[in-house]
Amino acid sequence: MKRAIVVGGGISGLATACLLQEKAGEAGIDLEVILLEKEKRTGGKIWSIKEQGFLCEWGPNGFLDNKPQTLELCRRVGADSKLLRSNDNARKRFIFSEGVLHKLPENGPSFLSSKLISWPGKLRLAMEPLIPQYRSGEDESLAAFGRRRLGDEALRKLIAPMVSGIFAGDPETMSLKSCFPRIAELEAEYGGLIKAMIRLAKKKKQDIAEGKVVASAAGPGGVLTSFRGGIQDLTDILSERIGKGAITLDEQVERVEKGCSAPFRVCSDRGELDADLVILATPAYATAGMLQGLNPGLTSLLHEIPYATMTVVCFGYQRERISRDLDGFGYLIPKQEGKSILGTLWDSSIFENRAPEGHVLLRSMMGGACFPQYVTLPDEEVQKRVQADLKTIMGISEPPDFVRIFRHEKAIPQYTVGHAKRLAGLEEQVKAHPGLILTGNSYRGIGLNDCVAAAQRASDEAICHLQAR
Ligand SMILES: Cc1cc2nc3c(=O)[nH]c(=O)nc-3n(C[C@H](O)[C@H](O)[C@H](O)COP(=O)(O)OP(=O)(O)OC[C@H]3O[C@@H](n4cnc5c(N)ncnc54)[C@H](O)[C@@H]3O)c2cc1C
């Protein structure tokens, strides 16, 4: 019997281990899969905390259904009957700018009538088709791309808040190609974003006329999807499927070495295990530490992937104490507004059962790459700042009835300019160790869909490796 060790019990490690078990069975490979996790629970960044009738997500609150990966995994493990789609009004998103919450325009006419972007800003955006295509070949930052194609105001009020909403990132340092590869492709293919939108809309019309299947009515953004019990339902189901006997909790892997009787030896704070195959589904900085002895080159490349901090602040209120409508997803805030928070998700409006009857749950984010120091603020200061911001932005002057604060010192990996080159270097170095596979959110996408897609690739690669030996 061969042995594969998966390190890390977040969505990446769990999905990889589960797929690997199934694919090995299908391929007739006699394989023992062992998953080692340093914490006392599985889930990693996924953790749905239930207290006083509120359901607070420690990290992610869902995945988008416009990519197939997570939905397919749910089907495969029988989790699809528990899926919970976000409410329809969660499509409405807001940006707080110059003292006002502006609804994010969804189409041309609403963009023209919106006061979010000034007329000079709109004019600059309208000139986008005239901007020459980027041809330098150098990795470009999101800020440089935004300024060049869409203008300063669109960068400040649209792109930068989106980058902080997804990556908790700073657009001045983040790579367009690595964070939003499709946008870079659209410019390369069509010569610009507006040109691409027109051509793709025409193509869609033509496809419909020819009776071809087109993207679902969910539209380009997709529908945020979770589970009745919170997103943790997914990692709980995966853990169950893998089986208790195959998962060891509270075991921190310290080193991966060359083995004597097997290709690898995995050394942890509990002992040593030989393995034919090792899949590291841990954050880049943790993976770096494990590989120091095996390959210092890999370690130094992995250390080049920085992480942004994040403080997640959950406030619960009695519904009647909030005068404004909460008919939307929530809002993001451009940095120039000088607020402590990056934005607020109206969690109880997005998904039902996130707050007890007659109550609402708001989840604000603080920190990110632009404000790393906020993660060390004491609870009282965090609460004071969030209350002050909610008062200005949403007119909530009363203190919350329920408070939960979660800190992530290393929340989200930052795909900074040069990330693609770093990945190429990592791939080259990993080739020297057949049977060693790196996966997780540090490399090719941070969304849950990306992590599941990476798990698919990792499990396929593992099967190929085992079949070739
Ligand atoms: C606040 C926040 C909100 C987010 N919101 C969304 C969202 O709404 N939608 C979305 O798609 N994505 C979201 N994301 C991103 C998404 O949650 C992550 O990218 C994803 O969960 C990462 O999964 P992972 O398994 O790759 O890593 P992790 O979840 O970090 O798992 C890695 C695991 O490895 C373990 N580990 C580390 N070192 C060792 C060691 N030495 N030995 C053994 N085990 C070890 C850790 O304990 C952990 O369990 C959010 C992230 C954050 C932080």
**Do the strands 271-275 and 264-268 form a parallel or antiparallel pair, or are they unpaired?**
antiparallel
> Over the stretch 247-292, which tens digit does the pLDDT of each residue have?
999 999 999 999 999 999 999 999 999 999 999 999 999 999 999 9
Question: What's the confidence (pLDDT) of residue 350?
Answer: 97
Provide the percentage of residues in the chain whose pLDDT is more than 70: 98
CATH 1.10.3110.10 domain span(s) along the chain: 117-209
Distance CA 309, CA 307 (A): 7
Q: What confidence tens digit (pLDDT) does each residue in 46-83 have?
A: 999 999 999 999 999 999 999 999 999 999 999 999 99
Give whole-number Cα distances, 453 to 79, 219, 265, 373, 393, in Å: 17, 21, 27, 33, 38
For the chain, first and last CA: distance in Å? 13
CATH 2.60.40.420 assigned to domain 2-40+231-305+416-468? The reply is: no
Rounded distance from Cα 439 to ligand 1 centre (Å): 12
Q: Which residue among 45, 292, 451 is best mutated to probe the pocket of ligand 1, counting the most ligand atoms within 8 A of its Cβ? A: 45
Determine the atom of ligand 1 nearest the C-alpha atom of 290. 41
Pocket of ligand 1 (CB under 6 A): 7-13, 36-39, 44-46, 59-63, 252-253, 281-283, 286, 310, 312, 408, 411-412, 440-441, 446-448, 451
Residues in Cβ contact with 27 at an 8 Å cutoff, skipping those fewer than 6 apart: 463, 466, 467
Q: Which of 231, 282, 407 to mutate to test the pocket of ligand 1 (most atoms within 8 A of CB)?
A: 282
Amino acid identity at 16: T
pLDDT of the residue at 216: 43
Rounded Cα distance between 424 and 426, Å, is 5
Q: Which string of b and e fits 296-328 if b means at least 16 CB within 10 Å?
A: eebbebbeebbbbbbbbbbbbbeeeebeeebeb
Distance in Å, CA 61 to ligand 1 centroid: 12
Residue 107's pLDDT is: 85
Residue 442 CA to ligand 1 center (angstroms) comes to 9
List the chain pLDDT tens, one digit each, 469 residues.
999 999 999 999 999 999 999 999 999 999 999 999 999 999 999 999 999 999 999 999 999 999 999 999 999 999 999 999 999 888 899 999 999 999 999 888 899 999 999 999 999 999 999 999 998 889 999 999 999 999 999 999 999 999 999 999 999 999 999 999 999 999 999 999 999 999 998 988 898 888 876 554 334 478 999 999 999 999 999 999 999 999 999 999 999 999 999 999 999 999 999 999 999 999 999 999 999 999 999 999 999 999 999 999 999 999 999 999 999 999 999 999 999 999 999 999 999 999 999 999 999 999 999 999 999 999 999 999 999 999 999 999 999 999 999 999 999 999 999 999 999 999 999 999 999 999 999 999 999 999 999 999 999 999 999 999 7
Burial class (CB in 10 A: 0-12, 13-18, 19+), 150: buried
Query: How far is the centre of ligand 1, averaged over its atoms, from the C-alpha of 408 (Å)?
Result: 10
Q: Which CATH superfamily is domain 307-413 in?
A: Protoporphyrinogen oxidase, mitochondrial; domain 2 (3.90.660.20)
Classify domain 117-209 at the CATH topology level.
Answer: protoporphyrinogen ix oxidase, domain 3 (1.10.3110)
DSSP state of 86: P
The CA–CA distances, whole Å, from 188 to 11, 182, 320 equal 33, 10, 51
**CATH 3.90.660.20 boundaries in the chain:** 307-413
Which residue puts its alpha carbon closest to atom 52 of ligand 1?
A: 59
| Longest CA span, the chain | 70
Where are the domain boundaries for CATH 3.50.50.60 in the chain?
2-40+231-305+416-468
Closest to 270 (Cα-Cα) out of 248, 285, 244:
248
pLDDT at 433: 97
> What predicted TM-score, i.e. pTM, was given to this entire model?
0.96
